[in-house]
Amino acid sequence: MIVRISGEGQFDLADSESARLNELEAAVVAAVEARDEATFKQALGALLDHVRSAGSAVAEDTLEGSDVILPPSDTSLQEAESEFTGEGLIPD
């Protein structure tokens, strides 16, 4: 699966990473719904760090459609409220 981190690039992750991505995203959604900024920043950082470490960077000159698009690490809680709700960004 191809995951894009906005403003940073794309990463190719094994399909077996889906469950872990969903788990990490669930923590982001919970923090957004609780309006807990500190936990949100930590959870978003963990999600993005996992994508970076578990995936391999896709070359910038390669045209690949993204299966998932994640916001950048400097996303505010207020900005995330419109993105990380209900089922979140990562399809099950």
Domain ranges of the chain: 2-80
Q: Are 63 and 7 in contact (CB under 8 A)?
A: no
The reported pLDDT for the residue numbered 71 is 93
Q: Per residue in 19-70, pLDDT tens?
A: 999 999 999 999 999 999 999 999 999 999 999 999 999 998 887 889 999 9
Rounded (5°) CA angle 25-66-28: 10
Instruction: Report pTM.
Output: 0.88
The reported pLDDT for the residue numbered 47 is 97
Q: Which class for 20: exposed (0-12), middle (13-18), buried (19 or more C-beta within 10 A)?
A: middle
- Categorize the per-residue pLDDT at 90 as very low, low, confident or very high, splitting at 50, 70 and 90: low
The reported pLDDT for the residue numbered 14 is 96
The reported pLDDT for the residue numbered 64 is 81
